[in-house]
Amino acid sequence: MGKNDTKKFYLLGDPVGHSISPIMQKLFLDYYKIKGQYKALRVTADNLDSVLSSLKLNGVLGINITVPLKETIVSYLDKVSDIARFVGCVNTIKINNRLLEGYNTDALGFQKSLPISVKDENVLLIGAGGAARAILTSLGKLKCRKVLIFNRTVSRAEALLKEFKIKFPTIKIGVSTLDSDLLKREIVKAKLLINATSVGMKSHKQELSYINPEFFHNDLFVYDVIYNPLETKLIQGAKEKGLRFCNGLDMLIYQGLESLKIWLGQELPFKSSLIEKVRAILTQKLQD
Ligand code: ATR
């Protein structure tokens, strides 16, 4: 077998040095007995053009896109899939005959990772970026009753409201700033509270200080999309109150598996033991 039998995948962004995606994708590739490599490459908007050209020439099959390239990448795409168009954000690219096809796997990743039913329920969503868009798409598909979006920049949340009201006409959507009393008032009626901002991440200095666990009720499920650290202040608050909660690790795992499916163009059946193994290894890595 020649060198060209190795299937090549990349994560592009900055910073990517501490990304756990290469470890995760290697575990998937091994599980499916696929000869492949997944590497993280530090790329900014300045060298994106030349990097993409060389990846195309080198027979790379797939790319994941992360901060700060999520918006810049759009202008390089030759095709945008229905799901990426619906979500309004691309995190996965398939290279097909040197053409770049944009996909979104975060929406399905979130949906698969969510351990509770939200049908006809109220949800509080904090954030209005790419992650929030993917989550809003899932919540719509899962037919929840109402979603209130809280964001620092309220105009961004308003843009989401406008867009998603048309996409999901039966779901009530509201917006607010982060510091409003609305959060305090609405949390009693909500089944799920999601942090889809980057606040609380290891690299961030801030915490979601405006969300006081004092107002959490016993049936509230707390979901933080952050997985590094594994336990944010928000998760600690939920834990201390004895609530059900999860971090963003399962969303990462399921979106990664969806990306691999798209790149290979085939179904990838798995046993729950795969998810458990990947989760355990990544957890260990994040604790090092
Ligand atoms: P992602 O693709 O991870 O969602 P993003 O699109 O840059 O990344 O969105 C980041 C989210 O985190 C946004 O909701 C952002 O709020 P703004 O729209 O006001 O920028 C939120 N965020 C980032 N830093 C924040 C901070 N210090 N305080 C509050 N919200 C913050």
pLDDT at 180 over 90: no
Which position has the token pair 């809280």? 150
Torsion of CA 69, 129, 164, 80, to 10 degrees: 10
Residue 90: the pLDDT is 97
Residue 204: band (very low, low, confident or very high) from pLDDT cuts 50, 70, 90: confident
Which amino acid is located at 68 in the chain? P
Extended strands (E) in the chain: 7-13, 36-42, 62-65, 79-80, 92-96, 99-103, 122-126, 146-150, 172-176, 192-195, 221-224, 244-246
pLDDT at 48 over 50: yes
pLDDT at 3 over 60: no
Q: Quick one: tokens of 86?
A: 């619906």
Q: What does the pLDDT look like over 81-93, one tens digit per residue?
A: 999 999 999 999 9
Q: Reply yes or no on whether 191 is catalytic.
A: no
Cα(113)–Cα(38) distance, integer angstroms: 23
pLDDT at 29 over 60: yes
251 CA to centre of ligand 1 in angstroms: 18
Residue 71: the pLDDT is 87
Q: Is 206 in the pocket of ligand 1 (CB under 6 A)?
A: yes
Q: What does the pLDDT look like over 96-108, one tens digit per residue?
A: 999 999 999 999 9
Q: Is 131 in the pocket of ligand 1 (CB under 6 A)?
A: yes
Q: Quick one: tokens of 257?
A: 């598996």
Q: What does the pLDDT look like over 234-268, one tens digit per residue?
A: 999 999 999 999 999 999 999 999 999 999 999 99
Q: Is 127 in the pocket of ligand 1 (CB under 6 A)?
A: yes
Mean pLDDT of all residues belonging to the chain: 95
Q: Quick one: tokens of 228?
A: 């590094």
198 CA to centre of ligand 1 in angstroms: 6
Q: Quick one: tokens of 274?
A: 């795969």
Residue 1: the pLDDT is 47
Which position has the token pair 């049936």? 219
Residue 4, Cβ density class (10 Å: 0-12 exposed, 13-18 middle, ≥19 buried): exposed
Cβ-contact 31, 13 below 8 angstroms: no
Q: How far apart are the first and last CA of the chain?
A: 37
Q: What does the pLDDT look like over 131-160, one tens digit per residue?
A: 999 999 999 999 999 999 999 999 999 999
pLDDT at 41 over 90: yes
Arithmetic mean of pLDDT, 14-26: 97
